[in-house]
Amino acid sequence: MFETIRNHRRWLQFILLILIVPSFGLVGMSGYDSFVSRDPELATVAGQAITRPEFDAAHRNQLEQFRQRMGAQFDPAVVDTPAMRQQLLEQLIDQRLLAQVAIDNRFSVSDATLRNTIAAIPQVQDEGRFSPERYRQVLAAQGMSPTSFENGLRRDLAVARVLEPVGTTARLPGEVVGSLQQALSQQRTLQLRVFTAEDFRSKVTVTPEDIQTWYDANQESLRVPEQVQAQYLVLDEAAATQGVQVSDADVTAYYEQNKNRFGTPEQRRASHILIQVPSGANEQTRKDAEAKAKTIAAEAAANPAGFAELAKKESQDAGSAATGGDLGWISGNAVPAELIKAVAGLAKDQVSDVVRSPYGYHILKLTDLKEGQAKPLAEVREQITTEIRRQIAATRFAEMATKMNTLVYDTRDNLQPTADALGLKLRSAAGITRTGLLSAEQAGPGAAATSADAQLLDNPRVRQVLFSPEVLRDKLNSGVITLSPDTMVAVRVAQVTPSQIPPLDKVRDAIRARLTDERAAAAAKEAGEAALKAAQAAPQTVPEGFGEAMTVSRQAPLNLPRPVLDLVMRQPAGSLPAYGGAAVGVDYVVVRVEKIEPGTAPEQDRDMLARQLSGAWGEAEDQAVLKMLREAYKVQTLPGANDAIKGEATAEG
């Protein structure tokens, strides 16, 4: 057969050409290109596709943001859900939709608006002012150029203008706001009678047959998930400082080297006279300002006592001239570094030479001086000892962490050699599942839930490592898990307990307590409903057992449980007194509403309510406009979106 193909190669090529070419006429060249290389499409907006790679990139960014925000508590299983992925896809659709609307309607942003927006970004400001240098540094740190950032920001601002008029102009009518304000402030006077389940608990009987029946009918609800007993090592500050001794000589040396830290530092107060030099001034202007400053400096040096009056007369610093040039106590970055340096070299009441700063030329006078005072060693000994221990611990921690990273792999099926080499205690805990820690009753002795390390063992990263195939199946040591800069953990699975339904003997007491609670709650409800029925039959007679009258409103509920508050506020005003009943947990509450009065609210409360309602109304109108635009731009969600929302990989992946 292969010989026939070789001998008639040209004929076969011709036949294949006849078969293939007509199919191009049916689907087109682009159809073949799409079939071979097009990415899976999740949705279309005005015919433009949102592809799976776009969604995956946004999804990765979203998870990274969660990881940075939640730190060690980040658990993908909690945040990466179908509902979250559905919401992300809807956001991508809305972004694409609004961008298309902005393009079609030629929405633009002026250069002035763009400049003002950038200047208002706190990260690119220096002392409250826009800093071009910091702007470039921030962008460079993110791998962006000013051009690319400004183009993206201009586009985002243009897109924001699509819905901006909708949200900012949304207003609820005053009559609606007034009605809602009246409903919120309306006051109702009531009395309560509470039937607690606890009062009926002693009257409840639960037989062994009841327990057996419940157990047989509800076994699956008792199932305990797969759990592991883990061995683990913890390297933290306490472990690194174990056995560290600090000598008296070390404390004394540390105190002498850092004496200025232990006490009150020197404080200097100064006044100044400023001769300003405008930004961009020419050389002659600078020379004239300097000459004037030197003349004033000579006059001030000749008569230091008259410095304040001279400052009021000559200083061009409007903020301090009226107070004689007073700058207050000099500290931090309150004044330019040149002035701090000059003030540090002055004696009290001494006047400086002319000092140049970015603002112009200054003449300074030291007006007050408070000498620094160091605390005695005995008073700060404990603080110094703690600081030295922490410094030693930081060094030891780094050394121990390096060793730990190596040792856990030297003996892969045992953590004890690592513990011995580092002087750490090998710990153990049981009842750890993929999703959390079992209760002490479910886990038994050594439960992780009751351990001092419960929070550490319930960390999502620790649980994820414990149930990774290598650690769970092969019972090998994990690598070192860094939970925080000063806490590291290594774990190993010592024992695996499969998911199981516990035998009746282990859950008998828990079932008895559950049935007792349920039956006591049912008895409380039955008694409460009987009392309610009797009260409704004779509404004008105040029944026994009700508490003192209280007055509540929706704005001041006085800690009433939500079911009771809802019941009280739903009672019609036409027929009073009115009665009602509501279950609150295992208890039952009977309510007697005696009086309904209109409430009053300050004008500022009404204004605040109007703003809140208008904001909510604006959001609702935004959603209505988006819905309308989706119809106008023929937004479609395609079948491929289901796989992305479920978190399933593409066929190519």
pLDDT of residue 650: 59
Is residue 625 in some structural domain? Answer: no
Q: Measured between alpha carbons, how far is 74 from 627 in angstroms, rounded to an integer?
A: 34
- Which pLDDT score, from 0 to 100, does residue 458 have? 93
Is residue 645 within a helix (H) or strand (E), and if so which, with residue range? helix 640-646
pLDDT higher than threshold 50 for residue 27? no
Q: Return the pLDDT at 538.
A: 85
Mean pLDDT score of the chain, rounded to an integer? 85
Measured at the CA of 180, the angle between CA 177 and CA 182, to 5 degrees, comes to 110
- Residue 293 Cα distances to 272, 323, 361, angstroms: 11, 19, 6
Give the model's pLDDT for residue 13: 45
Are the C-beta atoms of residues 357 and 336 closer than 8 Å to each other? yes
275 and 158 in one domain? no
| Domain-embedded: residue 79 | yes
The H-or-E segment that residue 314 falls in is helix 307-314
pLDDT for position 215 = 96
563, part of any domain: yes
Phi, psi of 583 (to 5 degrees): -80, 130
Q: Is residue 382 part of a domain?
A: no
Give counts: helices (H), strands (E), the chain: 27, 19
Distances (CA, A) of 9 to 14, 17, 22, 442, 653: 9, 12, 21, 75, 37
pLDDT 10s digits, 228-253: 999 999 999 888 888 888 888 888 88
- Work out the burial of residue 14: count CB atoms within 10 Å of its CB; fewer than 13 is exposed, 13-18 middle, 19 or more buried: exposed
Q: Pull the structure tokens for residue 58.
A: 């946004």
Residues 164 and 193 in one domain: no
Q: Are residues 521 and 564 in the same domain?
A: yes
Give 458's contacts (C-beta < 8 A, 6+ positions apart).
436, 437, 448
Residue 652 DSSP one-character state: -
pLDDT single digits (tens) 549-606:
999 988 888 889 999 999 999 888 778 899 999 999 999 999 999 999 887 777 777 7
Per-residue pLDDT reduced to its tens digit, 498-520 = 999 999 999 999 999 999 999 99
Last residue of a domain, one of 340, 371, 402: 371
Within this chain, do residues 450 and 364 fall inside the same structural domain, yes or no? no
Domain harbouring 120, CATH code: 1.10.4030.10
pLDDT digits over 45-54, tens only?
A: 988 999 999 9
Q: Are residues 344 and 287 in the same domain?
A: yes
| pLDDT band at 29; cut points 50, 70, 90 | very low
Indicate the pLDDT class of residue 525, thresholds 50, 70 and 90: very high
The confidence band for 11, taking pLDDT boundaries of 50, 70 and 90, is very low
More confidently predicted of 115 and 430: 430
> Cis bond leading into 577, ω under 30°?
yes
The model's pTM is: 0.55
Does 523 share its domain with 479? no
Are residue 48 and residue 92 in the same domain, yes or no? yes
Number of domains in the chain: 4
My answer on whether 533 and 477 are in the same domain is: no
pLDDT at position 188: 92
| CATH number for the domain that contains residue 272 | 3.10.50.40
3-class SS letters over 215-242: HHHCHHHHCECCEEEEEEEEEEHHHHHC
Q: Could you tell me if 479 and 544 lie in one domain? A: no
SS3 letters across 99-137 = HHHHHHCCCCCCHHHHHHHHHCCHHHEECCEECHHHHHH
Which tens digit of pLDDT belongs to each residue from 61-70?
Answer: 888 888 888 7
Predicted local distance difference test score (pLDDT) of residue 167: 64
For the cut 90, the answer to whether the pLDDT of residue 408 exceeds it is yes
Sign of CA dihedral 153, 157, 158, 160: positive
Other C-beta atoms closer than 10 Å to the C-beta of 197 total 21
pLDDT digits (tens, 9 = 90+) for 288-326: 999 999 999 999 999 999 999 999 999 998 778 888 999
Cβ neighbours for 27, distance < 8 A, ≥ 6 positions apart: none
Looking at residue 489, its pLDDT comes to: 96
Residue 271 vs residue 386, higher pLDDT: 271
335 within a domain of the structure (yes/no): yes
Which pLDDT band, with edges at 50, 70 and 90, does 30 fall under? very low
Query: Is 372 or 549 the better-scoring residue by pLDDT?
Result: 549
Side-chain half-sphere CA neighbours of 241 within 13 A: 14
295 vs 108, residue with greater confidence: 295
Task: Tell me if 260 is assigned to some domain.
Answer: no
- Of 124, 129, 158, 119, residue with least CA distance to 139: 124
The alpha helices in 458-548, defined as continuous H runs, are 460-466, 469-474, 504-537
Per-residue pLDDT for 23 more than 50? no
Check whether 24 has a pLDDT greater than 60. Answer: no
Classify residue 480: in a domain, yes or no: yes
CB 496 within 8 A of CB 467: no
Residue range(s) defining the domain that contains residue 325: 266-371
Same domain as 425, residue 312: no
Highest mean pLDDT out of 40-44, 126-130, 538-542: 40-44
Q: Are residues 359 and 416 in the same domain?
A: no
* 412 and 328 fall within a common domain: no
Local structure of residue 480 (DSSP, 8 states): -
Tokens of 360: 């112009």
Residue 535 within a domain: yes
Out of 231-240, 255-264, 270-279, least confident range: 255-264
At residue 10, the pLDDT reads 44
